């Protein structure tokens, strides 16, 4: 990991947490809904129709508004909405099936914000010579999560309850929110450094009396 900058490490850790959360929603929430609805798949069908319809619509719209300045904010909004979603699931307990459309809306919107910004951020904030390695590490971590977590979470749900494990997963989501604030936009940092460097260069030219210095009205004596 020493070859990666802070942004790369934070994105990798955040992706691992997101894989855990996604596994919980797409596997254990669906299984729980089937259990409390006696295997009725109508609610499950409605759930996925709403989720994918929102993702298809919002992903395109958000991608149009995505800029260097808002990409991290979009990313954080997606994580926060998913945290709220997990908390709702934990609080609703067996009543979650009565609010299946609301749950689907939260998931669809959060996924749209998250994925419309994540891929762009990964390409922008990670050195192009290391991006392939980053993608490979993400894939390895995801495979490990998909192998280990189903057994671990399944056993935990049997020993405790679905709502208790939902609260545990909510803490993972909070950790992901905290991690997101450690991401720094290299674009913004570079822009500030370049502006500072430009001003310092002008000052030096003015002090040395070189012709490149002229009265620009900036007050650079």
| Residue 149 in domain | yes
pLDDT above 70 covers what percent of the chain?
81
- Tell me the pLDDT of the chain averaged across its residues: 83
pLDDT at residue 217, rounded to an integer: 41
The mean pLDDT value for 193-211 works out to 55
Count the domains in the chain: 2
Q: Do both 140 and 119 map to the same domain? A: yes
Domain that includes residue 139, residue range = 6-184
CB 4 within 8 A of CB 130: yes
Whole-angstrom distance, CA of residue 53 vs CA of residue 41: 18
68-72, 83-87, 136-140, 191-195: which has the minimum mean pLDDT?
A: 191-195
pLDDT at residue 204, rounded to an integer: 63
**Residue 54 pLDDT grade (very low, low, confident, very high; cuts 50, 70, 90):** very high
The separation between the first and the last C-alpha atoms of the chain, rounded to the nearest angstrom, is: 47
Q: Do both 81 and 138 map to the same domain? A: yes
Q: What would the pLDDT profile of 118-169 be if each residue is shown by its tens digit?
A: 888 888 888 777 888 888 988 999 999 989 988 998 888 888 889 889 999 9
Residues 6 or more apart from 197 whose CB is under 8 A from it? none
**Is residue 201's pLDDT more than 50?**
yes
Distances (CA, A) of 215 to 3, 194, 197, 205: 46, 21, 19, 12
CB 78 within 8 A of CB 111: yes
**Residue 184 pLDDT grade (very low, low, confident, very high; cuts 50, 70, 90):** confident
Q: Do both 194 and 217 map to the same domain? A: yes
pLDDT at residue 37, rounded to an integer: 84
pLDDT at residue 176, rounded to an integer: 95
**Is residue 55's pLDDT more than 50?**
yes
Q: Do both 161 and 202 map to the same domain? A: no
Pull the structure tokens for residue 34.
């089937």
Q: Do both 102 and 196 map to the same domain? A: no
pLDDT at residue 39, rounded to an integer: 81
pLDDT above 90 covers what percent of the chain?
42
């Amino acid at each position: 990991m020493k070859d990666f900058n802070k942004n790369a490490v934070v994105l990798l850790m955040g992706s691992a947490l997101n894989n855990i959360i996604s596994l919980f929603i797409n596997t254990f929430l669906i299984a729980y809904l089937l259990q409390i609805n006696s295997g009725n798949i109508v609610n499950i069908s409605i759930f996925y129709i709403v989720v994918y319809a929102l993702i298809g619509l919002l992903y395109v719209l958000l991608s149009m508004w995505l800029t260097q300045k808002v990409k991290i904010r979009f990313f954080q909004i997606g994580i926060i909405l998913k945290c709220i979603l997990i908390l709702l699931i934990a609080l609703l307990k067996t009543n979650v099936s009565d609010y299946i459309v609301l749950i689907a809306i939260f998931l669809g919107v959060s996924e749209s914000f998250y994925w419309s910004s994540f891929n762009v951020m990964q390409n922008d904030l990670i050195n192009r010579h290391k991006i392939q390695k980053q993608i490979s590490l993400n894939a390895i971590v995801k495979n490990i999560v998909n192998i280990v977590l189903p057994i671990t979470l399944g056993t935990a749900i049997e020993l405790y309850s679905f709502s208790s494990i939902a609260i545990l997963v909510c803490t993972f989501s909070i950790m992901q929110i905290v991690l997101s604030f450690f991401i720094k936009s290299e674009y913004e940092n570079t822009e500030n450094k370049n502006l500072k460097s430009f001003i310092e260069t002008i000052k030096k030219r003015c002090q040395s009396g070189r012709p490149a210095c002229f009265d620009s009205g900036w007050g650079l004596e």
